[in-house]
């Protein structure tokens, strides 16, 4: 991180928001849980931190920005319903301490937090944060594969988020590629997509490949996603019982 990098949108001092995905409507809810852990990690003095929570809808538009001051040992249990009635998209979370000890690296400092999801029938799940927001100076290729479970009771979707939050949208590589394979590695479906900066999309695999279970047989399969400005993708697995799981690749 250099001086110009510190001027990137959403970067405050050394702190950069880390990302997760969320949804809020009448039947599905998301809560972000964040503890002022700087007050445990820094021994020099009591630390008060300022937490920022940003919501970006699926088109990439900033839908909300909430700020909360966390006293030493304080925490923020932020239900998205307190900010928006309906939402689906990317969430950025950033904890900015009022004092940071000297660091031995020149990178950004991310934020550790968790998202909890629940529905009206009592099914619940949670996951930790994923990658940080990315900018003009970051063009590494991200490639992430994960399993499509063999269980016939599970429908899998994948959530892909564009991780570019820089000031110059022309610097964003919007393309990402999806590849579904059988357990032996042979490909059954390939497609390239484009996602605007900060945008996100939920892709239901059984809509992309209507006979996916037949093609995979009773075996597991895999889904491979790659792109230059993608956040670590997530799977959204829905079980026949109604329970669900949302987790990074």
- Binding to other proteins (CB under 8 A): which residues in 69-88? 71-77
Q: Does 153 bind other proteins (CB under 8 A)?
A: yes
Q: In angstroms, rounded to a whole number, what is the distance separating the alpha carbons of residues 151 and 164?
A: 35
Q: Is 48 in the site for other proteins (CB under 8 A)?
A: no
Kindly state whether residue 50 participates in binding other proteins, applying the rule CB under 8 A: no
Query: For the chain, what is the HEC assignment?
Result: CCCCHHHCCCCECCECCEEEEEEECCCEEEEEEEECCHHHHCCCCCCCEEEEEEEEECCCCEEEEEEEEECCCCEEEEEHHHCCCCEEEEEEEEEEECCCCCCCCCCCECCCCEEEEEECCCCEEEEECCCECECCCCCCCEEEEEEECCCCCEEEEEEEEECECCCCHHHCCCEEEEEEECCCCCEEEEEEEECCCCCEEEEEHHHHCCCHHHHHCCCCEEEEEEECCECCCEEEEEECCCCEEEEEC
Report, in Å, the least distance between residue 162 CB and other proteins: 18
164 is an interface residue for other proteins by CB under 8 A: no
Min separation Cβ 183 and other proteins, Å: 4
Among 7, 12, 67, 112, binds other proteins (CB under 8 A): 112
User: How far apart are CB 45 and other proteins at their closest, in Å?
Assistant: 15
| Binding of other proteins by 137 (CB under 8 A) | no
Q: Which stretch binds other proteins (CB under 8 A): 20-28, 118-126, 157-165, 197-205?
A: 118-126
Neighbours of 179 (CB within 10 A): 16
Tell me: does residue 21 bind other proteins (CB under 8 A).
no
Query: Looking at 154, 201, 209, 215, which residue binds other proteins (CB under 8 A)?
Result: 154
Check residue 18 for interaction with other proteins (CB under 8 A). yes
Give how many residues touch other proteins by CB under 8 A.
Answer: 72
User: Which residues in the 201-230 window bind other proteins by CB under 8 A?
Assistant: 219-224
Rounded least distance, CB 59 to other proteins, Å:
26
Contact with other proteins (CB under 8 A) among 122, 170, 211, 214:
122
**Residue from 132, 163, 179 nearest 230 by CA:** 163
| From 116, 177, 193, 215, residue interacting with other proteins (rule: CB under 8 A) | 116
- 165 binds other proteins, rule: CB under 8 A: no
């Amino acid at each position: 991180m250099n001086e110009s990098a510190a001027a990137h949108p959403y970067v405050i001092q050394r702190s950069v928001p880390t990302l997760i995905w969320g949804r809020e409507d009448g039947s599905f809810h998301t809560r972000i849980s964040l503890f002022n852990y700087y007050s445990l990690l820094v021994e020099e003095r009591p630390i008060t931190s300022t937490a920022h929570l940003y919501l970006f809808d699926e088109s990439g538009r900033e839908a909300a920005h909430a700020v909360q001051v966390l006293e030493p040992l304080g925490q923020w249990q932020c239900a998205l319903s307190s900010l928006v009635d309906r939402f689906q998209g990317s969430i950025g979370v950033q904890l900015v301490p009022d004092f940071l000890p000297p660091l031995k690296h020149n990178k950004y400092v991310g934020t550790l937090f968790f998202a909890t999801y629940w529905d009206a029938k009592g099914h619940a799940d949670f996951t930790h944060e994923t990658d940080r927001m990315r900018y003009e100076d970051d063009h590494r290729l991200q490639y992430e594969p994960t399993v499509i479970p063999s269980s016939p009771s599970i429908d899998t979707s994948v959530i892909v988020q564009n991780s570019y939050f820089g000031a110059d949208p022309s610097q964003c590589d919007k393309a990402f590629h999806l590849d579904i394979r059988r357990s032996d590695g042979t490909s059954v479906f390939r497609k390239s997509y484009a996602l605007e900066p900060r945008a996100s999309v939920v892709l239901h695999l059984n809509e992309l490949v209507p006979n996916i279970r037949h093609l995979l047989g009773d075996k597991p399969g895999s889904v491979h996603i790659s792109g230059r400005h993608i956040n670590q993708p997530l799977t959204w697995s829905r079980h026949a019982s109604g329970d669900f799981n949302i987790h990074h690749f």
